[in-house]
Amino acid sequence: ANVYIDCHCHISSGEFDKQFFVFLFQAGLLAVLAVAEHFGEFEKIIDLSKRFQGFIFPCLGVHPVQEDLDAALPIIEKYKDQLVGIGEVGLDFTPRFVSGDKDKENQRQVLIRQVEIAKQLELPVNVHSRSAGRPTIHLLKELGVQNALLHAFDGKTAVAMDGVRAGFYFSIPPSIIRSEQQKLVKCLPLENICLETDSPALGPEKQVRNEPQNIRVSAEFVAKVKGVSVERVMEVTTENALRLFPKLRTKIRL
């Protein structure tokens, strides 16, 4: 049996319909963490997590390029007991989104406020960083974050190892098979690796809708690089996910 945990996935995306969820429920994953980008998705994510209780788990948070944190906070508060993490949060310094230091500082403030909430609620953070690997890891460390997942990390491996020393985890999406970040998998200890799909993005094939069952592609890649079996990768990454998101342990359907 497959016991993969998809640690970062946009299951509330309009690309997925009701039929798909039923299929997914039977596809052999152990759990799917549904992350939010903006507060407009929150209710749908909560709704899905109720409909597929013990299988789809909600993380609520505001993506770095969204500006709706004030609207989001009361909803996070409302559902705090059901959340397994805060996310996705983070920093995105690609030129498309930032034109100067002021924009970067705004993103930092939004991340800081959400880290504070995560700390209050004793929840891990599910973190996006794009062209901002170093500033993201440094800020998380500065804020004393202990439990963080860096999803689809695009920074330097030396920076990632700084995160490893802080106890952070890194999730590998199926797009790794066509990415320039393959050396990251080589460097990271298996004990700090989780699996994700970021569906419907970051699939094995560009421009093709990604789905959580593609998580096997990530697992196979990690297995090949680490010289271990896919089963071993499955076992360790699932243990890692359960350690990082401890609320899963009691709530997962078995």
The answer to whether the CB of 79 falls within 8 A of the CB of 58 is yes
User: In the complex, what is the shortest distance from the CB of residue 88 to Zn ion, in angstroms, rounded to a whole number?
Assistant: 5
**Window contacting Zn ion (CB under 5 A); options: 22-30, 42-50, 114-122, 194-202:** 194-202
Q: Which of residues 196-215 bind Zn ion (CB under 5 A)?
A: 198
The answer to whether the CB of 195 falls within 8 A of the CB of 220 is no
Q: Measured from the CB atom, is 92 or 198 closer to Zn ion? A: 198
- Is 38 known as a binding-site position? no
The answer to whether the CB of 89 falls within 8 A of the CB of 64 is yes
- Is 198 known as a binding-site position? yes
- Is 128 known as a binding-site position? yes
Closest CA to 243 of 37, 85, 121: 85
**Window contacting Zn ion (CB under 5 A); options: 50-58, 176-184, 192-200, 208-216:** 192-200
**Window contacting Zn ion (CB under 5 A); options: 42-50, 185-193, 195-203, 233-241:** 195-203
- Is 10 known as a binding-site position? yes
Helix residue spans in the chain (DSSP H)? 18-25, 42-51, 69-78, 101-121, 133-142, 157-165, 182-187, 215-226, 230-244, 247-251
User: In the complex, what is the shortest distance from the CB of residue 92 to Zn ion, in angstroms, rounded to a whole number?
Assistant: 11
Interatomic CA distance for residues 181 and 204, integer angstroms? 14
User: In the complex, what is the shortest distance from the CB of residue 9 to Zn ion, in angstroms, rounded to a whole number?
Assistant: 8
Minimal CB distance residue for Zn ion: 198
Q: CA gyration radius for the chain? A: 17
**Residues in the annotated binding site for a divalent metal cation:** 8, 10, 88, 128, 151, 198
